[in-house]
Amino acid sequence: LMDLDIVTEPIPHLPEGLILPERANVFMTDVFKDGWFEVQDGSSQKVAAFLEVEPGMKVIDACAGAGGKTLHLAALMQNKGQIIAMDLYESKLKELKLRARRNGAHNIDYRVIDSTKVIKKLYEKADRVLIDAPCSGLGVLKRNPDAKWKLQPEFIDNIRAVQAEVLETYSKMVKPGGKLVYATCSVLPSENQEQVQRFLQTENGKAFQFVKDEKILASESGFDGFYMALLQRK
């Protein structure tokens, strides 16, 4: 990027991250097309490392979407082992396949969650599971300021129910001794710390122990508001 006269600066506490002090169209560069980097918010970049993956592991990204965190996990695993990228929407996984091809990430398998069987087949199979849960998105108001006018109270109630169900179901894919990260781009305790505490009281949640969590506020970090919690299956 320096050779292309695109100025970047390192980011404290994000060893793999660079920030562009001035806007530049990096997507048109050959280095992007050759998969040398991806563009991702600084808070999101913390999540893959929080999962404590190692090369050779079996890792599930249970809400992969278009796969920014999946690709980061593949890099941290040095393309060794297996990542299963799952999502409800096949279109998102198709986008991830294109990005993975560009990145040279070839340790990723793709599964559309079109029935409960897809999850049940993976019960107690994964060393690590990432649940980047659906949420209110209140951590990204800096980028989407109009969201605060569109959010309805009933939507937040519904999304909390979805989060509880996802955590309950997807956590069963963690093998004994394995680890789970629950993450949201929200700053509401009811979607974050309280959701984790509620899960740990459930029958399935009692098999896990809380290890650590991190809350990131946009007002302090300059990046998205985010929450992540690391749990370990006993």
Q: Residue 230 corresponds to which amino acid?
A: L
Active-site residue, 135 included: no
Question: Which residue in 71, 73, 183, 185 is the catalytic one?
Answer: 185
- Asked if 199 and 209 count as a contact pair (C-beta separation under 8 A), the reply is no
Calpha distance 125→120 (Å, rounded): 10
- For residue 83 the two structure tokens come to 């990542």
Calpha distance 110→166 (Å, rounded): 18
Catalytic residues: 185
